[in-house]
C-alpha cells in the first residue's frame, strides 16, 4: 500500500473517530419547506433523547404565533410545551436558566437573529447538543437571517425532503394569495397550510401567473 494511500486512510479514520467522540458537541441544522414535518421531527427527536435519559429543552421564537404561545405543534398532531424567546433574548442566558439541560432543540430557527445563532453555537462549547429545525428560504426564495447564519456555522446540515404537488422535489415556500403564488409583501407573515405550500421551483414560477384552481396536479415519479 502506498504511503499516500495509508496517509489518506489515517486521515479518514481520525475524522471518523472525531465524529463519534465529539458528536454530542455540535450545532445541527435540519431544514425543509413548509409541510415537510420539521416540527414533527423536532418533537420525535426530543422524545428519543428523553427515552435515553437526556434532559431536553424545547425552545422557539415568539414570532411563531400559529398555536398557543408556549407549544410546539405539528401537522400530524404531535405537540409539546416549550420555552419561547424574543428577537433580543440572549439564548446563552436563557438556556443556562433551564435546569440540567443537555440537549437544546430549536423549532422555527429561521426566525432567530444571526447573533442568536452565534449564541446557540456558543452553547455547544459547554457540552450541549443544539439541534435547529426550520425553513431555508422565505416566500421569495431568499435565505432568512437565521437560516443563513446556520448554513455558515453549523457542523451538520441536513435537508428534510418533501414533494411538490406535481411530484417533483419541493424546494420553495410558496405564499398563496387569490389562487396565485405571491412574491409581494413582508418577509414574515405567519400562517399554515391555508397560506403556504411547498413547491418545486418550476411550479413556484408557473403559479405566479397561472391560477392554481385552473390546473390539476400532474403527478410524476418523485
Confidence of residue 75 (pLDDT cuts 50, 70, 90): confident
* pLDDT, mean of residues 64-81: 78
The domain in which residue 67 lies consists of 24-161
* Domain-located, residue 166: no
- Could you list the active site residues? 108
* Domain-located, residue 219: no
Confidence of residue 67 (pLDDT cuts 50, 70, 90): low
* Domain-located, residue 204: no
* Domain-located, residue 111: yes
Report the CATH number at residue 83: 3.40.50.300
Long-range CB contacts for residues 74-80, cutoff 8 Å, separation at least 24: 74/37, 74/39, 74/40, 74/43, 75/35, 75/37, 75/39, 75/40, 75/192, 75/193, 76/37, 76/40, 78/39, 78/40, 78/43, 78/44, 79/43, 80/43, 80/46
The C-alpha cell of 112 is what?
432567530
- pTM of full prediction above 0.85: no
User: How many domains in the chain?
Assistant: 1
Is the model more confident about 127 or about 202? 202
Amino acid at each position: 500500500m502506498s504511503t499516500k494511500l495509508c496517509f489518506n486512510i489515517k486521515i479518514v479514520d481520525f475524522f471518523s473517530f472525531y465524529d463519534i467522540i465529539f458528536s454530542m458537541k455540535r450545532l445541527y441544522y435540519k431544514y425543509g419547506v413548509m409541510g415537510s414535518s420539521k416540527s414533527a421531527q423536532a418533537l420525535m427527536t426530543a422524545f428519543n433523547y428523553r427515552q435515553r435519559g437526556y434532559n431536553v429543552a424545547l425552545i422557539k421564537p415568539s414570532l411563531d404565533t400559529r398555536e398557543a404561545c408556549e407549544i410546539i405543534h405539528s401537522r400530524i398532531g404531535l405537540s409539546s410545551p416549550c420555552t419561547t424567546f424574543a428577537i433580543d433574548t440572549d439564548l446563552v442566558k436563557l438556556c443556562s436558566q433551564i435546569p440540567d439541560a443537555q440537549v437544546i432543540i430549536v423549532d422555527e430557527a429561521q426566525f432567530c437573529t444571526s447573533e442568536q445563532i452565534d449564541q446557540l453555537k456558543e452553547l455547544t462549547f459547554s457540552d450541549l447538543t443544539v439541534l435547529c429545525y426550520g425553513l431555508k428560504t422565505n416566500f421569495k426564495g431568499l435565505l432568512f437571517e437565521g437560516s443563513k447564519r446556520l448554513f455558515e456555522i453549523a457542523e451538520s446540515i441536513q435537508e428534510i425532503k418533501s414533494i411538490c404537488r406535481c411530484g417533483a422535489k419541493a424546494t420553495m415556500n410558496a405564499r398563496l394569495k387569490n389562487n396565485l403564488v405571491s412574491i409581494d409583501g413582508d418577509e414574515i407573515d405567519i400562517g399554515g397550510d391555508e397560506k403556504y405550500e411547498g413547491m418545486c421551483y418550476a411550479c413556484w414560477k408557473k403559479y405566479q401567473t397561472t391560477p392554481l384552481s385552473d390546473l390539476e396536479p400532474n403527478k410524476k415519479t418523485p
